[in-house]
């Protein structure tokens, strides 16, 4: 439990007992990621509670609000404060008047373990919610440059280098290096934090690709669609439902990204397979 008025650290150092197959056992230590209860409060009403890595709170607040459809733009959050409390952190937001009624209509409480992106929903239809189709802005990238962007991601994962237990989501635009990386013990949280960072930075997700270190479940595709991302690529495989939703949303979905390439599952026309320069 953290002390009031002090934001918790995203990592902690803990003692361990190290055993190896040669029979040796010695005292050791390891840096592990922290998990903290983070509550989202809109205009005095609790909306959701998520277990997450205590870092990038403002990005998390904006990104979660966007991908959950609470707001349509970051400007609709008029005030935002991060308040440490004995049992976690409360993120308090005041919304523009036009959005407040919509929040009350959609208000739900989630208790969100890091491995679950759908906890607390009230009906089966919410689990497979329809998402808007991404805008076709003519973005085309070369397969070689997209693969290189994925290969550049591990050195940028500071928390994962320390703990070996953290997911990452990154934003890459053709012709440039990977610009934004956000990390969290929960893959959904990492993506929300990234979406918030993109929005707060005045960038447009439609101008680049989302790079993920996790598997591609349907919730990840839904959040990417809400952010307006036309290309999503991950190191792991997508589920069948994720592929279907990506296809319906017009998202180019790629997975199994390895050093020797990747697989494209939907809307392949945005990726040039020959090693040509990117076309924006």
Q: How far is CA 237 from the centre of its chain?
A: 16
Q: Measuring CA to CA, which residue among 217, 192, 215 is closest to residue 205? A: 192
Question: What was the pLDDT predicted at 136?
Answer: 85
Q: What distance in Å separates the CA atoms of residue 223 and residue 69, rounded to the nearest whole number? A: 9
Question: Half-sphere exposure of residue 217, counting CA atoms within 13 Å on the CB side?
Answer: 12
The reply to whether 36-127 and 141-272 are identical in fold is: no
Question: What was the pLDDT predicted at 125?
Answer: 56
Q: What distance in Å separates the CA atoms of residue 58 and residue 121, rounded to the nearest whole number? A: 24
Burial of 2 (0-12, 13-18, 19+ CB in 10 A): middle
Q: For the whole model, what pTM was predicted?
A: 0.90
All residues at 6 or more sequence positions from 161 whose CB lies less than 8 Å from its CB, including other chains: 155
pLDDT string in tens for the chain (280-residue length) = 444 579 999 999 999 999 998 888 999 999 999 999 999 999 998 899 999 999 999 999 999 999 999 999 999 999 999 999 999 999 999 999 989 877 776 665 444 555 455 554 555 555 667 899 999 899 999 999 999 999 999 999 999 999 999 999 999 999 999 999 999 999 999 999 999 999 999 999 999 999 999 999 999 999 999 999 999 999 999 999 999 999 999 999 999 999 999 999 999 999 999 754 444 4
Per the listing, tokens 């494209």 go with 264
Annotated catalytic residue, options 7, 32, 83, 116: 116
Question: What was the pLDDT predicted at 128?
Answer: 66
Question: What was the pLDDT predicted at 4?
Answer: 55
- Locate the domains of the chain by residue range: 36-127, 141-272
Question: What was the pLDDT predicted at 102?
Answer: 72
Q: How far is CA 139 from the centre of its chain?
A: 21
Question: What was the pLDDT predicted at 279?
Answer: 43
116 in catalytic set: yes
Question: What was the pLDDT predicted at 98?
Answer: 85
Report the CATH superfamily, name and number, of domain 141-272.
Cytidine Deaminase, domain 2 (3.40.140.10)
All residues at 6 or more sequence positions from 238 whose CB lies less than 8 Å from its CB, including other chains: 215, 216, 217, 221, 246, 253, 255, 265
Class of domain 36-127: alpha beta
Helix (H, G, I), strand (E, B) or coil at 252: strand
Helix (H, G, I), strand (E, B) or coil at 71: coil
Question: What was the pLDDT predicted at 276?
Answer: 45
């Amino acid at each position: 439990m953290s002390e009031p008025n002090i934001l918790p650290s995203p990592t902690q150092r803990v003692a361990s007992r190290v055993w190896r197959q040669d029979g040796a056992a010695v005292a050791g230590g390891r840096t592990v990621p922290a998990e903290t209860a983070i509550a989202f409060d809109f205009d005095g009403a609790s909306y959701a509670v998520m277990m997450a890595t205590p870092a990038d709170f403002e990005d998390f607040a904006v990104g979660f609000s966007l991908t959950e459809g609470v707001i349509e733009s970051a400007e609709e959050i008029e005030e935002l404060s991060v308040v440490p409390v004995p049992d976690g952190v409360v993120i308090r937001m005041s919304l523009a008047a036009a959005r407040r009624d919509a929040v009350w209509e959609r208000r739900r409480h989630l208790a969100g373990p890091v491995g679950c992106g759908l906890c607390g929903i009230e009906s089966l239809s919410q689990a497979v919610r329809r998402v808007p189709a991404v805008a076709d802005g003519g973005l085309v990238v070369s397969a070689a440059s997209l693969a290189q962007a994925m290969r550049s991601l591990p050195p940028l994962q500071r928390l994962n280098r320390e703990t070996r237990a953290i997911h990452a989501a990154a934003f890459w635009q053709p012709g440039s290096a990977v610009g934004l990386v956000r990390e969290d013990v929960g893959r959904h949280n990492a993506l929300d934090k990234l979406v918030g960072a993109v929005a707060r930075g005045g960038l447009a997700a439609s101008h680049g690709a989302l790079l993920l270190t996790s598997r591609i479940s349907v919730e990840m595709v839904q959040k990417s669609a809400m952010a307006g991302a036309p290309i999503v690529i991950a190191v792991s495989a997508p589920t069948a439902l994720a592929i279907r939703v990506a296809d319906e949303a017009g998202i180019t979905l790629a997975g199994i990204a390895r050093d020797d390439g990747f697989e494209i599952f939907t809307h392949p026309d945005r990726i040039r397979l020959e090693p040509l320069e990117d076309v924006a």
